[in-house]
A and B are shown apart, each in its own frame.
Chain A
């Protein structure tokens, strides 16, 4: 199975900060990497697919990059609604696997 490791597991940031979350795959997955945002008590929501493609309706302050084994999700200027947990997920092969999550909290 492909293991997905996210870092950090949590972070504290202020409104307007630039935030970067890292996801590392245990083997090369090309660009088969997706990012989701989850608010407490809610279902996850797709942000980025294929490593860098922004899902329709998602604000442009979110961006994704990387290929192979190392990927990043960047929020260019943190907004109040961005305080949530973020998950990466590989779709290179089954079993489809997720990273452990990164919780973004208010400093």
Chain B
């Protein structure tokens, strides 16, 4: 069974930094493309960014609002995904979900989700 467990959320001041972790189990992590998706309180879902597998170059891609401030990385030896968030602002307040991307041919979807971790940016 796929399990994704996020940690590292909390309260941070505007301009501050935070690193989220996502511990993965139940699948071959080093083959998986992983994404972070966030949800501001009472709002919809917003894709944050993705990291491909090492086999596919371990390349990253980000949504415009976080590009240059957030960095996604992975440690395949620890089956762990990370989200380093710098220069946080109030608009980054959200529940952050770690997701595993599944695929069939060119079709891709978020097949598994963690329980989420809340990041609150406030002074």
Interface residues of A (CB under 8 A from B): 1, 31-32, 34, 36, 43-46, 49-50, 53, 55, 87, 89, 91, 94-101
Contact = CB atoms under 8 A, between A and B. Distances in A.
Nearest to B111: A46
A26 B44 CA distance: 18
Interface residues of B, number: 24
5 contacts: A43-B114, A44-B45, A46-B109, A55-B111, A96-B35
The 9 closest A-B pairs by CB, nearest first: A43-B113, A49-B109, A96-B47, A50-B107, A34-B109, A98-B45, A91-B108, A95-B63, A101-B44
Nearest to A101: B44
A67 to B, nearest CB: 12
Contacts of A97: 47
A14 to B, nearest CB: 26
Contacts of A91: 107-109
Q: Majority SS of interface residues in chain B?
A: strand
Contacts of A53: 104
Contact of A98 (B46, B106, B107): B46
B116 to A, nearest CB: 6
Contacts of B108: 32, 91
